Amino acid sequence: MDKKRNNLIIFLMFLLGVFVLPFSGLLRAQTRYGRNYSEPFHGLIFKDPYLISNFYVERNIEDMSDIIEHTCSFNYLGEDNLEVFILGKEIDNIITKHNINIEDTVQIAVDNSAEITQEIVNISKLKPIYDEISNFDYTGVSFKKLSAPEDEAYTIKIRLPMRKIFDRNKVIIRLSTFITNAKIDNILDDEKSINLNVGEYYISSIEIYNKNLIFNHILGKYIRVICIIIFIVYVFKVIFGTKRKSSLLVLISLYYIFLNFYKVMGKELSGGMGFIIIFSIFGLILSSILAYKFS
């Protein structure tokens, strides 16, 4: 009984060390998505959104490119000049048939962009991917302000770059998230979109991705979690079992837990190749010692 108790204490200390490891200075946040950064929404924010009617948006992704064209048409019912902020950095000049004055500006047009980003993430099929990106947030920054004399109907065409999510050097997701504070009557897309309302804002997000690549990534993470749980249960059975168990199986279990738990926590080794080799050898030696004691 004393041996089982001692082995249990040792194993619990091992698990505690493995759990604390991701929060130590030896590790850093995973950098497989390190090239990603916050980007502005696409969209139109009106000074007087309640005066906008018959608002239609059509989005078309240009062939063989990462450019998405927005064609926005609406009626303005106000008596004063129309004022609207454009979100996103346009590729070309804004195209319109109207006498519209376009000013360069840098202004926060959407205050609660972090909350909106989280709502988009929560309903997306790609949430496991987005959760691993430390700087995925959208921003509500406007770089262009449009003003125009009173008119009944307007049509504005804007070409914008899609947001790209990198897995190391490979683009795995392309996004376009349109936001507005006016009521949209209809939005037409080339691709299936995610649509939701957050407070006063209407949001429509397009996600284009390699389904096999994303599926394999998410599946791999879940398999890693399941294997860790199975190996932990197995070691507990070894400790409290009456039959002699294979040291090799215990070694594999402990070594797998040691090398994969921090990855599940979204961490990776911060040193160079030499440190990675030393770290792996240390884990193997530690696992070997414990495996011998538990067998």
pLDDT in tens, 164-181: 888 777 888 889 999 999
Rg (CA), the chain: 27
**Model-wide pTM > 0.75:** no
Q: Which of 215, 180, 212 is nearest to 198 (CA)?
A: 180
Collect contacts of 280-286 with beta carbons under 8 A, ≥24 apart. Answer: 283/255, 283/258, 283/259, 284/255, 286/14, 286/254, 286/258
- Per-residue CA distances from 136 to 36, 38, 66, 113, 166 (Å): 7, 6, 19, 11, 11
The DSSP secondary-structure symbol of 49 reads G
Query: What are the two backbone dihedrals, phi and then psi, of residue 26, each rounded to the nearest 5 degrees?
Result: -75, -20
State the DSSP H helix or E strand holding residue 139, giving kind and residue range, or none if neither: strand 138-139
Q: Can you tell me the distance from the alpha carbon of 40 to that of 217, in angstroms, rounded to the nearest whole number? A: 26
pLDDT tens digits for range 195-205 = 899 989 999 99
Q: Which of 93-97, 151-155, 277-281 has the highest mean pLDDT?
A: 151-155
* Number of other residues whose CB lies within 10 A of the CB of residue 281: 10
Q: Can you tell me the distance from the alpha carbon of 1 to that of 263, in angstroms, rounded to the nearest whole number? A: 35
pLDDT tens digits for range 8-47 = 777 888 888 888 877 776 666 565 666 567 888 999 999 9
Are 199 and 181 contacting, i.e. CB atoms less than 8 angstroms apart? no
Query: What are the two backbone dihedrals, phi and then psi, of residue 33, each rounded to the nearest 5 degrees?
Result: -110, 25
- For 140-187, give the DSSP string: -EEEEEEEE---SEEEEEEEEEPEEEEETTEEEEEEEEEEESS--SEE
How far is C-alpha 69 from the chain's CA centre?
A: 23
- For 207-259, give the DSSP string: EEE-HHHHHHHHHHHHHHHHHHHHHHHHHHHHHH-SS---HHHHHHHHHHHHH
Give residue 273's pLDDT.
Answer: 64
Per the document, the length of the chain is 295
Token readout for 33 is: 């998505």
Inform me whether the pLDDT recorded for 93 exceeds 80.
no
What mean pLDDT comes out for the span 65-69?
88
Which of these ranges, 129-143, 160-174, 238-252, has the smallest mean pLDDT? 238-252
Q: Can you tell me the distance from the alpha carbon of 92 to that of 281, in angstroms, rounded to the nearest whole number? A: 55
